[in-house]
Structure 1
Amino acid sequence: MIGVAPPAYDPAAPESATTLPVGTPTTVRAYVRELLRRHRAAFTVLMVVNATAVIASMVGPRLLGGLVEDLSEGERDLHIGRTVALFAVALLVQTVFVRMVRMRGAVLGERMLADLREDFLVRSVGLPPGVLERAGTGDLLSRITTDVDRLANAMREAVPQLAIGVVWTGLLLGALTLTAPPLGLAVLVALPVLVVGCRWYYRRAPSAYRSEAAGYAAVSASLTESVDAGRTVEAHRLGERRIAQSELRIRQWTAWERYTLWLRSVLFPVINVSYTLITGSVLMIGGVCVMRGWMSIGDLTTGALLSQMLVEPIGLILRWYDELQVAQVSLARLVGVREIEEGPADEGVVPGGREVRADEVRFGYHEGSDVLHEVSMRVPPGTRLALVGPSGAGKSTLGRLLAGIYSPRTGRVTLGGAELARMPAERIRAHVALVNQEHHVFVGSLRDNLLLARAFAEDAELWAALGAVDADGWARALDEGLDTEVGSGGLALTPAQAQQIALARLVLADPHTLVLDEATSLLDPRAARHLERSLGRVLEGRTVVAIAHRLHTAHDADVIAVVEGGRITELGSHDELVEADGAYAALWRSWHQ
């Protein structure tokens, strides 16, 4: 078949606009089997109810065929009343059970969809934080919105309807074969056309739909990144470049949309031809059989009606199977998170102390390009360590390694002798916490935002935490206090207030080791200095690794590590490093000029 070719490959466009994997067919099939096992009782009931409805629907053709047979044989007593009564009962049974099929199918679909959403959310939240950071917002956003939306219709209707169509078709073919075996062979006349057309379509559709989904993810990622970094785009005059990139992504996406539409425009006429062939072959072959005495006119009537009834379930199967081609791509993207390695977490790995160590650590975000090179350091309990250095030197990366967000490519990062890379994430967070310049206010009350750190904290503890970060003043001024709704749709907080909430959560979590990555960067210098003094009182006795460009933080630290080019080039106290007159002394002098 000749027609529209798939969009040409563009080297500027990734084949898959994602850093998260797409599930393999094996993973998808395993998840589908798992879903069916969870709901096998409901699925079995649905099949039984559907079979009952289909059997009831076949009573009408059987009764009509019997009447035609009686008339052809010259019967005068046709028992019309009894026939009508039987037909009415069968119709009532069919109506009741069809309603039950639709209701049970919809309920089953909703339950499976709810399971899918919950499984994806639970698995995503459980992923290593480093994986989520590298994934970016565009891909995650497209998976939890567009892919779930595409799956919603499939899970609510396609899966139940496809199962119903298969049972329906099987029962009708069985009844047709039992009633008039030659007519069962007549249906096979249309099979080659249907098989060839569907095979042509389904060999092309899955990859086309995957490309369409990846194209949409690329559009979503491009637009999201442009909006999120709007000020940066304006500052660097990147508007035209970002618009051109977005237009390119949209053209690629719409090209795949047109291609998948063309595939459907070929498939549907093939299906219509198959329907015509089924009816025509049954009538012609059945007519020959009747004329030769191989079949009664009543059996032909019944067979013709049953073959006509095949149109609906076959159409149902093909329609929803096509829908499942789209859904299969979205399902593969959602279950792909199951293929991410969680790391060799060992419940038996428990810190034997509070000392943090890095031994000959190497780490890179991309293979063959390390950001940190052979970094070794020791942070005794209660030490305040400051990481300073030029932008891009690897300070934040080192902080995330010490916080257990990333795992080193080579070397070891340990807490109390226990390797962080082998420790469950929940256990790491109980001991070590990272607070960076990025923060988030969740939709809900101020109390709910704070209780995320300690679920059963009393109000007095919440106010104490707010007071520790100098946030109780503005918080007490709120009309509803801790019950004030904040976040999207609620009270709009300033960046400084949002960061204070994040720091208050840190106080409530009460870890013994903290990594502060420019945690006060959104506050003005005077407020930041005041807040850091307040935190100093709260964090007394804890191990603190502070990453900041403001060197007054380094001045107050016990130990300062200068990071340059992914290596620690200087290590010592403020006075020692100033006296050494090296890189830190140069930074200190330039900061005071």
Structure 2
Amino acid sequence: MSTQIHHDRLPVADWRRTARHLAAHLGRHRARLVLVVVAMTAAGAFGLVTPRLLGSIVDVVATGGDTSDVVVRAAFMVAAAVACAVCTGIGIAAAASVFESVLADLREEMLAGVLRLPVARVEAAGSGDVLSRATDDVDKVGEAIGTALPSVLMAQAGVVVTVIGLAAIDWRFLLVAVVTAPLYYVTARMYIQQAPAVYAAERVAAADRAHHVLGPVQGLPTVRAFDLGSRLSRRIDKHSWAVVRRAMQATVLQNRLAGRLNLGEFIGMAVILLVGFTLVGDGAVTVGAVTAAMLFFLALFDPIGQLMYVLDDLQSGAAALGRIVGVLDVPDTRTHSDVDGRDDGTGLVASGVDFGYTREHPILHDVSVAVRPGEHVALVGMSGAGKSTLATILAGVHSADHGTVTLGGVPVSDIPDAQRARRVALLTQEVHVFSGTLREDLLLARPDADVEDVWAALEKVGAAAWARSLDDGLESVVGEHGHQVDAMVAQQLALARIDLLDPDVVIVDEATADAGSVGAGVLEDSAAAVLDGRSALIIAHRLSQAAAADRIVHLAGGRVIEAGPHTDLVASGGRYSEIWAAWAKGRELA
């Protein structure tokens, strides 16, 4: 299977797929959703009591009625206000319970979806695309679910109940709905048609900006070494302004929405006044009834405005949810068959491998390498020769464009991810200490390991004394929120995890390069102890490591130019011999 690495964003689900996904989550909470609808409807009904009674108070005052009638109506208004508040509180609490549960499920789904993506697919999409979906997009969905959806339910209940209230006063007041509904419909349709593209483009622009910001941050030493700051700053500036332009387009759209809402409110008030003037003149209704109708319509401003304005959050949230569902919809191409029993004892073998991160720039050309059971093979070559790229292909992180990679006679691509990770371990100089206790960090490699196994692994890599010096030993919290671990110890912990994992083959990619001259020697001893008795491919940045290996493979320009034992290569007089002579002479002079 060919894996060309280029900027290939992850898919975005269409609105039908997104709606089905959200509906499936909401369907798990039907009972609480019914409670939300009932509570919101009751709150809307109680909310109409106050304007209706205010209208009747106008009539009492206009006809010179008894003051006690006003007091009774005022008491009912207070009771209705209390009931409205109680129902609203129940509705909001139930809505929060439902929507926060849905949001928690979406977060877990998103994390699981990202973690199951092949590393090559993540690299093709760009770290900014994945990171923005897992952070910004989840936050946008959280805002929509936590704020917009409850507002929609409250607004819909308020609109329906208020229209019923207007009809109860006099059916002719429904003329206001006939006049304003088309305007609101056209406004909403315009917004729904234009907003998704605007907000989707804004999210994509934000992802691009994140991608171009993260790259220089992650490669800061390289940026400084090659003085790339100004060039990369201009690129970040370009993509930042792209985000600003998209945000301004969204703001213009919002302003158009606000203007049409205000026009609808003006037309609606004018219609109520005209209808009310006519009906009072004919004696069909009282001034108090017209007052109540106007108050009803004024009460509609808030729910209609909410309904329209949350379209903003809903559209932004829908665009973000589409990006999240797009990650979940990436097909799982992993094989789930059991291949453990098919090992033919050949070890890890690459034959005729070609590979390039882009189609235009191939990296490896017809590379063949074999790591036999129990054998240590050193991979040497200048920087940029393709050593680390070959390591990722042998580990199954990337798939070769041409050629094959097998482990025990089985294509690496056919081995399920979980099995492959246990059988081929890739250790680089970029290791991570996970937040939690030291014991939990090490047990990630083998959850069923007992305490004795953990201490044995620490002893083997030379980190046991350091672990015992911690206040709580294995129960000490390490990582970002605990005891800070330096680069050398972090590598030793990574080696201890390798020892606990006990893989068939270990691929070591310059794991001692970041530890300094003193630390590198310590780490070489730690690595030698862990690799003893295991098959290993060692990407060597020190020729002393290569000399100690059973065989050496020399890469140059993405091709194997020499291969064989150290003594044979030195005796051959080839390029490795020249490099070894220069290296050895430098040691003698030192």
TM-score for the superposition, normalised by structure 1:
0.86
- The aligned amino acid for 2:20 is A
User: 1:249 and 1:464 mapped to 2: Cα distance?
Assistant: 51
Deviation, 1:178, is 5.6
Which digits, 9 at most, give the CA deviation of each residue in 1:328-363, with x for residues without a partner? 233233333223333242234445225323344333
User: 1:65 and 1:47 mapped to 2: Cα distance?
Assistant: 28
Match for residue 309 of structure 2 among 312, 315, 319: 319
> CA 1:19 to 1:585, structure 2 compared with 1: closer, same or farther past 3 Å?
farther
Q: Report 1:235-384 matches (<5 A).
A: 235-289=225-279, 291-292=281-282, 300=290, 302-350=292-340, 352-353=342-343, 355-367=347-359, 369-384=361-376
Q: Does 1:225 align with 2:215?
A: yes
User: 1:238 and 1:290 mapped to 2: Cα distance?
Assistant: 78
Which digits, 9 at most, give the CA deviation of each residue in 1:471-525, with x for residues without a partner? 2233333344334333334333321222111111111222122111112222345
Is this contact kept in 2: 1:382–1:544, CA < 8 A? yes
- Which residue of structure 2 aligns with residue 50 of structure 1? 40
User: 1:546 and 1:368 mapped to 2: Cα distance?
Assistant: 29
Q: Does 1:427 align with 2:419?
A: yes
Segment of structure 1 superposing worse, 516-525 or 292-301: 292-301
User: 1:201 and 1:269 mapped to 2: Cα distance?
Assistant: 12
> CA 1:29 to 1:359, structure 2 compared with 1: closer, same or farther past 3 Å?
farther
- Which residue of structure 1 aligns with residue 487 of structure 2? 495
Is this contact kept in 1: 2:349–2:369, CA < 8 A? yes
Segment of structure 1 superposing worse, 427-436 or 286-295: 286-295
- Which residue of structure 1 aligns with residue 136 of structure 2? 146
Measured on the aligned residues, the alpha-carbon RMSD in Å equals 3.3
- The aligned amino acid for 2:451 is D
Match for residue 93 of structure 2 among 92, 96, 103: 103
- Give the paired residue count: 578
> CA 1:565 to 1:229, structure 2 compared with 1: closer, same or farther past 3 Å?
closer
Deviation, 1:100, is 0.6
- The aligned amino acid for 1:549 is H
User: 2:487 and 2:528 mapped to 1: Cα distance?
Assistant: 21
Query: How much identity, in percent, do the aligned residues show?
Result: 35
> CA 1:564 to 1:499, structure 2 compared with 1: closer, same or farther past 3 Å?
same
User: 1:578 and 1:25 mapped to 2: Cα distance?
Assistant: 65
- Which residue of structure 2 aligns with residue 5 of structure 1? none
- Which residue of structure 2 aligns with residue 12 of structure 1? none
Is this contact kept in 2: 1:499–1:522, CA < 8 A? no
Is this contact kept in 1: 2:488–2:523, CA < 8 A? no
Is this contact kept in 2: 1:161–1:320, CA < 8 A? yes
Deviation, 1:468, is 1.2
User: 1:181 and 1:415 mapped to 2: Cα distance?
Assistant: 80
Match for residue 184 of structure 1 among 152, 174, 178: 174
Is this contact kept in 2: 1:466–1:472, CA < 8 A? yes
> CA 1:559 to 1:366, structure 2 compared with 1: closer, same or farther past 3 Å?
same
- Which residue of structure 1 aligns with residue 514 of structure 2? 522
Deviation, 1:434, is 0.9
Is this contact kept in 2: 1:351–1:418, CA < 8 A? no
Which digits, 9 at most, give the CA deviation of each residue in 1:287-310, with x for residues without a partner? 335545776777655544433322
Q: Any unmatched runs of 5+ in structure 2?
A: 1-5, 586-590
Deviation, 1:272, is 1.7
Is this contact kept in 2: 1:19–1:139, CA < 8 A? yes
User: 1:17 and 1:539 mapped to 2: Cα distance?
Assistant: 37
User: 1:341 and 1:360 mapped to 2: Cα distance?
Assistant: 28
User: 1:268 and 1:278 mapped to 2: Cα distance?
Assistant: 15
Is this contact kept in 2: 1:70–1:78, CA < 8 A? no
Match for residue 400 of structure 1 among 381, 392, 398: 392
- Which residue of structure 2 aligns with residue 11 of structure 1? none
Which digits, 9 at most, give the CA deviation of each residue in 1:204-256, with x for residues without a partner? 33333333333333444444333333333222222322333333333333333
- The aligned amino acid for 1:561 is V
- The aligned amino acid for 1:165 is A
- The aligned amino acid for 2:385 is A
Segment of structure 1 superposing worse, 68-77 or 79-88: 68-77
- The aligned amino acid for 2:393 is L
Which digits, 9 at most, give the CA deviation of each residue in 1:107-149, with x for residues without a partner? 2232222222221112112222333345554444433333333
- The aligned amino acid for 2:458 is L
- Which residue of structure 2 aligns with residue 13 of structure 1? none
> CA 1:140 to 1:314, structure 2 compared with 1: closer, same or farther past 3 Å?
same
- The aligned amino acid for 2:306 is L
- The aligned amino acid for 1:109 is F
Match for residue 401 of structure 2 among 395, 409, 412: 409
> CA 1:79 to 1:209, structure 2 compared with 1: closer, same or farther past 3 Å?
same
Which digits, 9 at most, give the CA deviation of each residue in 1:54-100, with x for residues without a partner? 23333445556677789999999997677566555443332211111
Is this contact kept in 1: 2:113–2:327, CA < 8 A? yes
TM-score for the superposition, normalised by structure 2:
0.87
Is this contact kept in 2: 1:363–1:370, CA < 8 A? yes
Match for residue 36 of structure 1 among 23, 26, 32: 26
> CA 1:76 to 1:365, structure 2 compared with 1: closer, same or farther past 3 Å?
same
- Which residue of structure 2 aligns with residue 462 of structure 1? 454
SS of the residue 1:561 aligns to:
strand
- The aligned amino acid for 1:555 is A
Match for residue 437 of structure 2 among 437, 442, 445: 445
User: 1:484 and 1:145 mapped to 2: Cα distance?
Assistant: 29
Q: Does 1:548 align with 2:518?
A: no
Match for residue 117 of structure 2 among 99, 115, 127: 127
SS of the residue 1:310 aligns to:
helix
> CA 1:187 to 1:111, structure 2 compared with 1: closer, same or farther past 3 Å?
same
User: 2:574 and 2:190 mapped to 1: Cα distance?
Assistant: 71
User: 1:589 and 1:26 mapped to 2: Cα distance?
Assistant: 67
Q: Any unmatched runs of 5+ in structure 1?
A: 1-15
Deviation, 1:262, is 2.8
Q: Does 1:535 align with 2:527?
A: yes
Which digits, 9 at most, give the CA deviation of each residue in 1:251-306, with x for residues without a partner? 33333333322332232122122112112212313433554577677765554443
- Which residue of structure 2 aligns with residue 167 of structure 1? 157
